[in-house]
Structures are given as C-alpha cells and as structure tokens.
Structure 1
Amino acid sequence: MSETIKHRLQVPMDKGGMRLDQVAAELFSDYSRARLQTWIKEEALKVDGRACKPREKLLGGEWLELEAELEAQERWLPEAIDLPIVYEDEHILILNKPAGLVVHPAAGHSEGTLLNALLHHAPELNVVPRAGIVHRLDKDTTGLMVVAKTIQAQTDLVEQLQERSMGREYEAVVQGVMTGGGTVDEHMGRHSRHRQKMAVVAEGSGKNAVTHYRVLEKFRAHTHIRCKLETGRTHQIRVHMAHIHYPLVGDPLYGGRNRLPKGCTPDLQDALRLFQRQALHAKRLELSHPATGEWMEWEVELPEDLKALLAALDEDRQGYDDYL
C-alpha cells in the first residue's frame, strides 16, 4: 500500500540564485529536506520537466514538478498492543509509554514495539516514516511521547525538536544527595570501548547536549530531581547525571552499585534492589500544534513503581529522623 503525491509550484523570482534543494525545502515545507533531496536524486522532483542536481542554482520562474510515492511501512506488522493514549486528533497522538515497551523495531525486537502498536491503532501511519515516531524513550523509561499522524505534522514536530522549542521535562531519582540544581553542558558521543553505551566526550568529537536539573526532594542518600532537556541525545539524562556523579537509581548501564544510607531498613534495601530499571519518567510535554499553532501542554503522574520507591526513601528518612 502506498500513496501518490503530485505538486506543481512556480519558483518565485526572488528565489533566483538559490539552490534547488533550498527552494524545494521552502516551497514543499510539508516534507523534510532529506526526503526532498532523495526525490531530486531519484528524479521524482524535476525543474521544468528535466532532472537536476540538488545543488543546481535556479534563476526564478521555473516550475517545480513533484510526483512521488509515499511507501508504506510494509516490513513492520501491525500488532494489537494496548496504548495508554493521553490525547489524539487527526494530526498528533500523545501517549504515556509504560516501562518495558521498545519504541522502534531493531535487532532482537522486531515485534511487540510501539511502532507495531501504532500501525494497528492508526493504519494510516503506514505511509508516514517510522509510523510517525519523531523522538524516542528508552525501553525502560516511562512517560510522555508525541507521534505525528501525517507527514506534514512529522516535519513540523521535527523542526520544533531541532529548534529546541518543544518542551520536555523528566523526573528522576538519583544516587547521592545534591546540594542544589544546575546545568550539565557536555558533548556526547558513542563510548570508545563499550559501543552500546554513550559517554561525555571532548567538544568537537560529539554532539552538544544540555540538561538543566533542579532538586525536588532530598533523602538520606538519594535525590528526587526534575530535568529539562534542551537537546535530545541518546541516554542524555542518564549519561549527564552519571558524569556529575549522581547516576540514576536502577540504571543498568550507568548506575553502578546501589548506595545504601547507613543503617537503612530492610524495606528500603529491598526497594532499591528490586528497582530494575532506570528511575526516569517523562513527566511533562509541551509543543506547538503542527496544524493549528496552538500551544499545548500535558503532564502525567509518576508510575506506581517510582511512587513506591519514593515512599520507601521517605519512610527511611523519617525513621532515621525519629531515631535521632
């Protein structure tokens, strides 16, 4: 299954001297630059009926003719998987991802992913790249995600991410007692030895990454924090917090050994030992609606396992205070 699109637009005279790929990005703004460049190279996008190269300069007045196929995501099968949807209209879908749900199929996870669930819930997503997924959460990170239901919405949301106008806030529980909030501004890249991990790297050898954090509550050996992302690098909060020596509780890649407060109760020992995922939740999401421009905001509660962990930490703190 696929969809054929056809467009014919004239290049404004004031665009004379600009490259074809630049003009195409302005005239066909519903589609990404990468997609348009591919169509130019495949000769699906022509200038006055002739094939051109992406970097060829235009004079102005030419006609750009686009006829292309939007291929369906045929290699991924729809699956009836429950989706905790927070909001949905014809353009976007907001969901509260549970722990354990892989976002996109990959080696070892070809089925049972969010993408498979989305294709079942909204079959029209089969012509939208990656079934409308514009950003990801790690398998065991919970919380809010936005999915684009049209190519136009996807292009707009990707631009919001790139321009850092989309607001994303997380809550986490870290090991160690922070004195206050701050900002981690450290470049990130693939770990030099452990390829499944990311790491802070020297400026110039990775991508810039900025995480702001503030303290919500302090415990005897842990801190409940809120993080706001400027960028969205893989494992960003997990890597940045570990870099400043406050790794997330339960993080299998970056957490290290559990730090137990002196004389802590068996209940807290069990709570920390049994928390087998990174204690991270995408709490708040805000964005400009890709069709209406309306500013929209969503916030969801912490999942039950995080609530239980915080309750155990609070009980330990109160018991220690009573003992003193």
Structure 2
Amino acid sequence: MQKNHQKRREHSTLFTVTEKAELLPFLLENMKQNSRNSVKSMLTRGQVEVDGQPVTKHNHPLSIGQKVEIQKNKAAKSESMLTGLTIIYEDESIIVIDKEEGLLSMAAKDKNEKTAFSEVSYYVKKQNPRQRVFIVHRLDRDTSGVLLFAKSEEVKMTLQTNWDEMAKERVYTALVEGNVKKEQGTIKSWLKETRTYKVYSNPTDNGGQLAITHYKKIKSNRQYSLLEVRLDTGRKNQIRVHMEELGYPVVGDKKYGSTVNPLKRLGLHATSLTVVHPVTKKVMKFETDLPTSFLRKVQ
C-alpha cells in the first residue's frame, strides 16, 4: 500500500490521502499504534475532520489529495492514560467501555487496586472535577468486553429499574471445552447462589432466579467450540453455570468445571450490547472486537 503523508501539528495529526479508501480502514492503516476501538471512539467523538469538516461515518469515502486531520482533545489525552479499558462511546448521559480481562468492574478489596469504575471516574474528573459515574451492570473480573456506565444517578436508576426492557440484546462469545454437537440450543433453569458464592442450576423452580440462555455454534474442532451466546436474563455467572450444565464448560473456568486454561484467562467476552438510550430513547448498539486468542483455538 502506498504510504500516506503524515504531518504532526501541536493539536492534531494531518494525513494526505494518496489512495482511494473508506475512512475507518484508512485510519486503522495509518494509526496502527492505536487500538481499533480507540480509533472508532475518535470518530464517534468528532475528532476526525476531512478537508476541515468533522466526519463520524466509518465508511465515508476518501479521494486522493484530501486532508484527514485527527484533533487531539482533553478527552483523548485522558483516555490515553487509562489502564485496562478503551472508551467506545461517550455523551452527556452515558459512557461505554471495552473492559480488558483481569480488571474488576468495581469494589476491589484492595482500595489501591484499579477497577473499571475507578478508571472511568478518573477519566471524567480530568475533564470536570464535579462529574461522577455510576455502575449500571457488571462483568466478572476475567470477562472482557462491553460495559456501560451512567453519568448521573437519575440515568443509572432509569437503566437499572428498566434494564430488562432497555437492554434489547446482550451478546457474548464463549470459548468452551469440547466439540459442541448441537448447532444451537436454549438452556432454561433456576439459579441459586450458595454461601460459598457458587451458583447452582435447577431445572425446576427452586425459589431461585429464572435464567434463559441461547447459544449458537460459530466454529469448533475436537478440543474447543466457539459459541455466540445471547441472554434473555442477566443472572450472576449465568453463562458459566449454563455451559457447565450443557457439558461444555467455559475454558479457564475452574469454578464451573473447566480442566484446561489455554488462554490464561476466562474464555468469555461481552461482544455487544444493544440498549435504549435513557435520554434520547434511540436504540444503540455497542460492539467490541473478539479477542484473537479465542479464534486461534478453533482454527
């Protein structure tokens, strides 16, 4: 590919287009030091200008000779200092991140341990010292992917109170042990947590919480299967418990039946979240890239 001319300015980076391309692929090619989600968030925030005009469309066509300028701003500077997460989307009401595995959502026993909550709080306070963020839902420490925060208590309450209606679709990708025989299926059971913090599944109502999980096989080999998992309910450890019940535990999940840990992490990733925006009422879909380590195991 022909190299595009790059020029660094004090408050921006300027590229001159030398080949026809679409905007997102052009940016990914020329900003390899940035993650895909980081580049997408720059587009969302309106940091990218083509011939002086802000452009947010990923497939915006570029012509030879056009100037693409990436504006630096306080938000981008603050984001570059974050650990264990990338910001996917932000507006006045919500902030959506791609959390890495190993990072707690919140409330670490060690008060000095970084969490997704502490990192996002730090990020917003850099721009406005009075700004706060609020947890809406959580991901397990070793589950990566989409996590949403509210920027006010009112927005948090709106989302949490109406979560089952407002969270239109929750899609995960799971790498599980074994070659799953059925192409797709649904698991429905009642989940109850014991005093030892382990969740157990029961096929009939035992006073626990009803949990419904749909799965579809994406790819498999003799050792592992890659599944797309959709939730009707969001119970604690739901996917992990249901995969154990199915006989194909999530890799790396010793607590729920796994005997191998080829990824050195839990084989679970929150791929996308589709929600009704709490203020605008628009349906919005937030997506993340699947970890390449998952894909490599089913090649």
State the partner residue of 1:292: 280
State the partner residue of 2:43: none
CA RMSD across the alignment: 2.2
Residues 105 and 111 in structure 1, CA contact (< 8 A), matched pair in contact too: no
Unaligned 5+ segments in structure 1 are: 1-79, 259-272, 315-324
The yes-or-no answer on 1:311 pairing with 2:299 is no
Residues 220 and 298 in structure 2, CA contact (< 8 A), matched pair in contact too: no
Instruction: Provide closer, same or farther for how the CA distance between residues 132 and 254 of structure 1 changes in structure 2, counting only shifts above 3 A.
Output: same
Alignment match of 2:185 (pick from 154, 175, 182): 182
1:205 positional shift: 2.3
State the partner residue of 1:43: none
**Structure-2-length-normalised TM-score:** 0.66
The one-letter code of the counterpart of 2:198 is K
State the partner residue of 2:227: 225
State the partner residue of 1:113: 115
State the partner residue of 2:91: 89
The yes-or-no answer on 1:136 pairing with 2:124 is no
1:153 positional shift: 1.5
1:133 positional shift: 0.8
Task: Tell me how far apart the structure 2 counterparts of residues 298 and 163 of structure 1 sit (CA, whole Å).
Answer: 17
State the partner residue of 1:279: 267
Local SS of the residue matching 2:256: coil
Task: Tell me how far apart the structure 1 counterparts of residues 290 and 294 of structure 2 sit (CA, whole Å).
Answer: 11
Alignment match of 1:208 (pick from 202, 207, 210): 210
1:135-284 paired onto structure 2 within 5 Å: 135-163=137-165, 165-178=167-180, 179-191=182-194, 195-201=196-202, 202-258=204-260, 273-284=261-272
Task: Tell me how far apart the structure 2 counterparts of residues 248 and 232 of structure 1 sit (CA, whole Å).
Answer: 17
Instruction: Provide closer, same or farther for how the CA distance between residues 206 and 127 of structure 1 changes in structure 2, counting only shifts above 3 A.
Output: farther
1:166 positional shift: 3.1
Residues 159 and 166 in structure 2, CA contact (< 8 A), matched pair in contact too: no
Superposed CA deviations along residues 105-135 of structure 1, whole A, max 9, x for unmatched, are 143465311121122112379786xx41110
After the TM superposition, list the runs of 4 or more consecutive aligned residues in structure 1 that deviate by more than 6 angstroms.
124-127
1:206 positional shift: 1.0
Task: Tell me how far apart the structure 2 counterparts of residues 230 and 111 of structure 1 sit (CA, whole Å).
Answer: 33
Unaligned 5+ segments in structure 2 are: 1-80
Instruction: Provide closer, same or farther for how the CA distance between residues 164 and 148 of structure 1 changes in structure 2, counting only shifts above 3 A.
Output: closer
Residues 167 and 285 in structure 1, CA contact (< 8 A), matched pair in contact too: yes
Superposed CA deviations along residues 31-71 of structure 1, whole A, max 9, x for unmatched, are xxxxxxxxxxxxxxxxxxxxxxxxxxxxxxxxxxxxxxxxx
1:301 positional shift: 0.7
Task: Tell me how far apart the structure 2 counterparts of residues 109 and 188 of structure 1 sit (CA, whole Å).
Answer: 31
Between Structure 1 and Structure 2, whose CA radius of gyration is higher? 1
Instruction: Give the length in aligned residue pairs.
Output: 214
Superposed CA deviations along residues 130-167 of structure 1, whole A, max 9, x for unmatched, are x4111000001000011111122112211331336432
Residues 104 and 116 in structure 2, CA contact (< 8 A), matched pair in contact too: yes
Superposed CA deviations along residues 203-261 of structure 1, whole A, max 9, x for unmatched, are 13211111111111121132110011111111110011101111011113113323xxx
1:20-59 paired onto structure 2 within 5 Å: none
**Structure-1-length-normalised TM-score:** 0.61
Local SS of the residue matching 2:209: coil
- Whose helix fraction is larger, Structure 1's or Structure 2's? 1
Residues 251 and 262 in structure 2, CA contact (< 8 A), matched pair in contact too: no
Superposed CA deviations along residues 257-293 of structure 1, whole A, max 9, x for unmatched, are 23xxxxxxxxxxxxxx542221010001111111111
